[in-house]
Amino acid sequence: PPTTDLHTLAAHLVGRLRWSLVGLLTLRFYQLDALPYGLWRDEARHALLALRILEDPTYRPIYEPDGGIDLPGLGFYPFAFGLHLWGIHVWSLRPVAALAGALTVLPLYGLAWELFGRRDGALLAAALLAVSSWHLTLSRFSFPHHL
């Protein structure tokens, strides 16, 4: 409903964002242990690097050129935290990536609001990213690119 009361407007916006966040978290975490099937070799390499970060206190990579990874090391620290939090298991990495993928919708919302100057355009941009098949798929793999 159109209103000029800033408090009411903020309450509507927070309510919409809350339900949107619940929906996009559900899409990214639903059967995360089973879908996508199996473990990709890139995920296995990322897991081994995160495990090395976790187990070797002298190993703190800034950039990882070895082992065919060739990526900045900062993206692997959240995976190491996931291994620490949920144990050394193949599926301990995917929740970290799924959460990061879900949270990327929020900066897009802010950017779209700034660009369009309207909350409708910002909500549409965030909603399209939240249900985008490529974004959903990449958010479910333990790749550090979106961390």
Write down the pLDDT at residue 28: 94
44-81 per-position pLDDT tens digit? 999 999 999 999 999 999 998 877 788 899 999 999 99
Q: What percentage of the chain reaches a pLDDT higher than 70?
A: 97
Whether the link from the prior residue into 36 is cis, omega within 30° of 0, is yes
Spatial separation of the C-alpha atoms in residues 111 and 105, rounded to whole Å: 10
Q: Is residue 101, in this structure, part of any structural domain at all? A: yes
Two tokens, residue 53: 């970060």
Say if CB 147 and CB 96 are below 8 A apart. yes
Residue ranges with strand state E in the chain: 63-64, 71-72
Write down the pLDDT at residue 86: 94
Q: Is residue 18, in this structure, part of any structural domain at all? A: no
Write down the pLDDT at residue 91: 85
Q: Is residue 7, in this structure, part of any structural domain at all? A: no
Closest CA to 97 of 58, 39, 52: 39
Write down the pLDDT at residue 4: 59
Q: What is the pTM of this model?
A: 0.83
Q: Is residue 23, in this structure, part of any structural domain at all? A: no
Write down the pLDDT at residue 48: 93
Q: Is residue 22, in this structure, part of any structural domain at all? A: no
Q: Is residue 21, in this structure, part of any structural domain at all? A: no
- Cβ neighbours of residue 40 closer than 8 Å, sequence gap 6 or more: 141
Residues of the chain with pLDDT under 50: none
Q: Is residue 103, in this structure, part of any structural domain at all? A: yes
| CA 16 to mean position of chain CA atoms | 20
Spatial separation of the C-alpha atoms in residues 2 and 73, rounded to whole Å: 48
Spatial separation of the C-alpha atoms in residues 94 and 67, rounded to whole Å: 21
Q: Which domain holds residue 140?
A: 29-146
Q: Is residue 12, in this structure, part of any structural domain at all? A: no
Q: What percentage of the chain reaches a pLDDT higher than 90?
A: 54
Domain tally for the chain? 1
Two tokens, residue 10: 């903020």
